[in-house]
Amino acid sequence: MKQSEAFLRSEGDGFYRRNAAGLARMESYGSTDPVLRALDSLGLRPKRALEIGCSNGWRLKLLHAASGAECFGIDPSAEAVASGTAAHPEVSLRVGTAEQLPFPTGHFDLVVFGFCLYLCDPQDLFRIAAEADRVLAVSGYLAILDFYPPLPYRNRYEHHAGLYSYKMDYSRMFLWSPVYTTVLHSVFGHSGPELANPDERVSVSVLRSDLARAFIDSPYSGSPLG
């Protein structure tokens, strides 16, 4: 079974139940959230934002309050989406996964991956990157919160047999292209500032999409192929 299927069937709800108390704490102390802090430090005030892996939409609620943005979220947990829809009517939440986004092309000036890529199927990463790029507006911003190990590897996922946590620098899904550049990158520990354990190392990266500046005019001349 694919990881996306397992999370849609039951593990998304299980993940939400196990972390409900922690989510409530993060909502209460939203000023410490690394994504919101990164956006604030850059002075970004999106008009329309999408969070992939939004849980119950707590971060979107805070983003809406801070910027007035139209906020949309997608998460595999039906329980999280139902709870968030009831608690945060100012944001729009849907059940789904990262490899198929039910939104129009160029619809968002900010797309956030909210600590979810490490649980996605590795074979879907190209599709996930393409979908995020598709829904992101020209000159939009992409924020990625996830593990940041020194090399790609996987751990067994302790809550569901046959699943794994896949850890890597997920900004590399986009930075191979000259369209994307890093405007902010911060590294910290999963449970605090300590960075000694590579398995607990986390980062937030904010990338900007800018096709107009991605390709300079050719410095060469006389090419028979143009």
Contact 202, 211 (CB under 8 A): no
Which residue did the predictor score with more confidence, 84 or 27? 84
pLDDT computed for residue 69 by the predictor: 96
At residue 153's C-alpha, the angle toward residues 150 and 156, to 5°, is 135
And the tokens for 50? 């999408």
Contact 129, 142 (CB under 8 A): no
Backbone angles phi, psi at 144, to 5 degrees: -125, 115
At residue 133's C-alpha, the angle toward residues 138 and 178, to 5°, is 75
Q: Which CATH number fits domain 3-213: 3.40.50.1360, 3.40.50.150, 3.60.21.10, 1.20.120.350?
A: 3.40.50.150
pLDDT computed for residue 226 by the predictor: 57
Reported as a single tens digit per residue, the pLDDT across 59-116 is: 999 999 999 999 999 999 999 999 999 999 999 999 999 999 999 999 999 999 999 9
CB within 8 A of 187, min separation 6: which ones?
A: 148, 195, 201, 202, 203
pLDDT at 52 over 60: yes
SS3 94: strand
Share of the chain above pLDDT 70, in %: 95
pLDDT computed for residue 224 by the predictor: 57
Q: Determine if the pTM surpasses 0.85.
A: yes
Contact 128, 111 (CB under 8 A): no
Nearest-angstrom CA–CA distance, 186 and 190: 12
Reported as a single tens digit per residue, the pLDDT across 173-226 is: 999 999 999 999 999 987 666 677 889 999 999 999 999 999 988 888 766 555
Q: Which residues of 23-55 are buried (b: 16+ CB within 10 A; e: fewer)?
A: beebbeebeebebbebbeeeebebeebbbbbbb
pLDDT computed for residue 222 by the predictor: 61
Q: Where are the domains positioned within the chain?
A: 3-213
And the tokens for 185? 């990158």
Contact 64, 92 (CB under 8 A): no
Length of the chain: 226
Q: Which residues of 102-134 are buried (b: 16+ CB within 10 A; e: fewer)?
A: ebeeebbbbbbbbbbbbbbbeebbeebbebbbe
Nearest-angstrom CA–CA distance, 58 and 205: 20
pLDDT computed for residue 41 by the predictor: 96
Q: In the chain, what is the straight-line distance between the N-terminal and C-terminal CA atoms, in Å?
A: 48
Contact 84, 91 (CB under 8 A): yes
